[in-house]
Chains A and B, each alone.
Chain A
Amino acid sequence: MTNWFNSEWPWYVAGPLIGLFVPALLLVGNKVFGISGNLRHLCSAVLPSRLEFFRYDWKSKGLWNLVFLAGVLIGGFLASHFGAPQAINISPATVATLSHSGIHDFSGVAPHELFTWHALLTLRGFISIVVGGFLVGFGTQYAGGCTSGHAISGLANFELPSLIAVFGFFAGGLAATYFILPFVIGNL
């Protein structure tokens, strides 16, 4: 078993495992798998507000999901401290593409040029972390879901709104990858 934790899991293991969270949550408590609702629950819980969007009983609607989310953080900690693979063996083509943009440190799960406390004080780090984070929050709430709620739960349920949302995810992601990121990484 130990070698399962020494290199990255193949896609045909990781994908079905992720997909199993949909039936698992339904079977346990009729819950729909979706992470981004937690951002709304957290706002509702932490930032009391008169805004209608946050006026609901977050404990009865979202406590289960916030507990699940706490588990995600703990799971990330456990996996990374007990023998999870550190080397991200991306394709040589991606190494070449990113090197060309100005990424040279490929040692972590995220590039140290962009995702450290020190990098936060640089413009490119700020855009990656703060601007990127803001758009993740705003976009998922506007779209009513993220990769889990729309791409996995929604598409598995053959929902047209989710298909539109997923096209949006990739349209935005591709635009940022080809037009924004090279400039942000290389020039800022």
Chain B
Amino acid sequence: MTGAPLPDFDGCGTSGADEKIRPAFLLVYLLLGIAFGVVLTCSQVLSWFRIQEMFHFQSFRMYGIIGSAIATASVFLALIKAANLKSIDGKLIAIPRKPLGSGIQYAVGGTIFGVGWALTGACPGPLFALIGNGVTVMIVAVASALAGTWVYGWLRPSLPH
């Protein structure tokens, strides 16, 4: 694989054309983010205890949340595709599909993240919501996650994908 260009990471949010985003739209994204932070907090999805409860299979709660989130998103995605909808800022809605490749990056990267998810009790969204909740030591977890991100970027050319 060395030398060959690696596929871009659609799931990491770098896909799509370069564009300038109007300030009014940034305000909408800010408000949506605030809503997401409120949901993460009020649903207790950001709690280490809830994640432990899930991984010990001692409550249906987290599975119900994740499952119904996927089902809801799936129904709306199907409707959007069927209707060929455009977004408010005028683009035809299209979700770029992630390249499968050998699948190794998903299996290995996913497992590594899973270990981190159980240790911190938080995925990336909840890490930031926890800082807002006053668990300020999670600033260190975020800094460490940035270090992990940087190390991945450094090792990327020599990792199997």
B98 partner, pick from A79, A117, A154, A169, beta carbons under 8 A = A154
Set of chain A residues within 8 Å of B77, measured between Cβ atoms = 22-23, 26, 156-157
Q: Are A136 and B120 in contact (CB under 8 A)?
A: yes
Q: Are B106 and A164 in contact (CB under 8 A)?
A: yes
Size of the chain B interface, CB-CB below 8 angstroms: 128
Set of chain B residues within 8 Å of A131, measured between Cβ atoms = 116, 119, 144
Question: Assuming the A-B contacts A15-B64, A111-B48, A176-B118, are A79 and B137 also in contact, with contact meaning beta carbons closer than 8 angstroms in the complex?
Answer: no
Q: Are B47 and A136 in contact (CB under 8 A)?
A: no
Compute how far the CA of A69 lies from the CA of B141 in the bound complex, rounded to whole angstroms: 16
Q: Which of B64-90 contact A (CB under 8 A)?
A: 64-74, 76-77, 79-80, 85, 87-89
Compute how far the CA of A80 lies from the CA of B126 in the bound complex, rounded to whole angstroms: 13
Set of chain A residues within 8 Å of B67, measured between Cβ atoms = 15
Compute how far the CA of A28 lies from the CA of B77 in the bound complex, rounded to whole angstroms: 14
Q: Are A140 and B38 in contact (CB under 8 A)?
A: no
Compute how far the CA of A77 lies from the CA of B153 in the bound complex, rounded to whole angstroms: 31
Q: Are B111 and A168 in contact (CB under 8 A)?
A: yes
Q: What's the nearest-Cβ distance from chain B to residue A34, in Å?
A: 5
Q: Are A67 and B42 in contact (CB under 8 A)?
A: no
Question: Assuming the A-B contacts A11-B68, A60-B20, A75-B129, are A149 and B150 also in contact, with contact meaning beta carbons closer than 8 angstroms in the complex?
Answer: no
Q: Are B103 and A4 in contact (CB under 8 A)?
A: no
Q: Are B49 and A128 in contact (CB under 8 A)?
A: no
Set of chain A residues within 8 Å of B147, measured between Cβ atoms = 134, 137
Give A residues with C-beta under 8 Å from B: 4-5, 8-9, 11-43, 46-47, 49, 51-54, 56-57, 60-65, 67-80, 84-85, 88, 90-91, 93-94, 97-98, 106, 108-111, 114-117, 119-120, 127-162, 164-177, 180-181, 184
Nearest 3 A/B pairs, CB to CB: A71-B33, A75-B37, A168-B110
12 residue pairs bridging A and B, Cβ less than 8 Å apart: A26-B95, A28-B32, A61-B16, A72-B34, A111-B48, A115-B135, A134-B116, A140-B124, A146-B125, A165-B107, A165-B110, A173-B55
